[in-house]
Amino acid sequence: MIMEAPGQFRTGFELGKAVPLSGAYSSIEISGMGGSALPGNLLRVYLADIFRRFNGEHPIAVYQNRFYGLPHEAYQEGCLNFICSYSGNTEETVAAFEEAIFNKLPSVGISSGGVIQELCRKHGVPHIMLPVPFRNFQPRVGTGYFFGAIFGVLAKLGMVKDTCDELVREAEALSREMSLLEEQGKALSERLMGKTPVIYSDTRYKSVAMIWKIKMNENAKTPAFWNFFPELNHNEMVGFTNPQGKFFLILLSDSGENAQIRKRFEVTAKILEHRGILSERIDMGEGSVFTKMFRMIFLGDWASYYLALRYGVDPTPVDMVEELKKMLV
């Protein structure tokens, strides 16, 4: 499941470029919940990198929506709405899509079927059918499909520079690192046993820290928290003056980050170590923003997977989420 994740990008790009869609758009809005929302966070980071690297690229605004309705940005002229739900049945996302349909807003549905596909068919909205590689496939491990599909649409429409071939090569390189990342994740899981993970990053990669937190929640079935420098130095760190429980800091560090941010990583770890909080600094390694992002995400996948096994729980199902859905009916 995790080992094959880098191969998802190629499929996603192909699906996105094949969608029957044309027109001129200047912004996008991504509606989704849980694992279906994560690609939107990562796209914002990668698109910012594209606009920085390539002169002449005009930045597009990326809005995200995790609610039953649409944000006001979805109504802006030139905004293309992506409706993302792996199952196609997420009630918040379905409600947002129904609003988009009622108001005739330009939209693309992305799902593996469900109500989203049915509404697309009924109202003539373009739909991207996501693969379901095996039974009980979880959206949180399908990030590459979603990321690739949305980026493929943007490249097809000329909204961004088409770097799909470059990203496929980078994903293939990451696939050759997976065994090493698995070993690192397994070793980290041992140090996390019996402690609450707290994941910190710099501002650019705060979405990666958030995703680590989510993977710890859903895979290892354990509480976890995330934050980012320098903001956390103005509030959260003070909470460790009187910690109630055992915590373990995971510091996701990029060699290209601001020098003062690097110093904050070091000083914060020292201050908290004196208060009994252990930490581990993880270097994101070499490569592009895309490579660093997904290298760290795959490492988090492995760490949370092996932590689940150490706790004797199945990392796949999210029984509490399913219980909630039944009680909401």
234 counts as catalytic: yes
Residues 103, 162: Cα–Cα separation, whole Å: 31
156 counts as catalytic: no
Are 48 and 60 a contacting pair, CB within 8 Å? no
Residue owning tokens 């709405």? 81
325 counts as catalytic: yes
What residue type is assigned to position 208 of the chain?
V
Catalytic residue from among 182, 218, 221, 292: 218
Nearest-10 Cα torsion for 221, 223, 229, 231:
140
Residues 123, 146: Cα–Cα separation, whole Å: 22
Three-state secondary structure readout of the chain: CCCCHHHHHHHHHHHHHHCCCCCCCCEEEEECCHHHCHHHHHHHHHHHHHHHHCCCCCCCEEEEECCCCCCHHHHCCCEEEEEECCCCCCHHHHHHHHHHHHCCCCEEEEECCHHHHHHHHHHCCCEEECCCCCCCCCHHHCHHHHHHHHHHHHHHCCCCCCCHHHHHHHHHHHHCCHHHHHHHHHHHHHHHCCCEEEEEECCCCHHHHHHHHHHHHHCCCCCCEEEECCHHHHCHHHHHHCCCCCEEEEEEECCCCCHHHHHHHHHHHHHHHCCCCEEEEEECCCCCHHHHHHHHHHHHHHHHHHHHHHHCCCCCCCHHHHHHHHHHC
Known catalytic residues are: 218, 234, 325
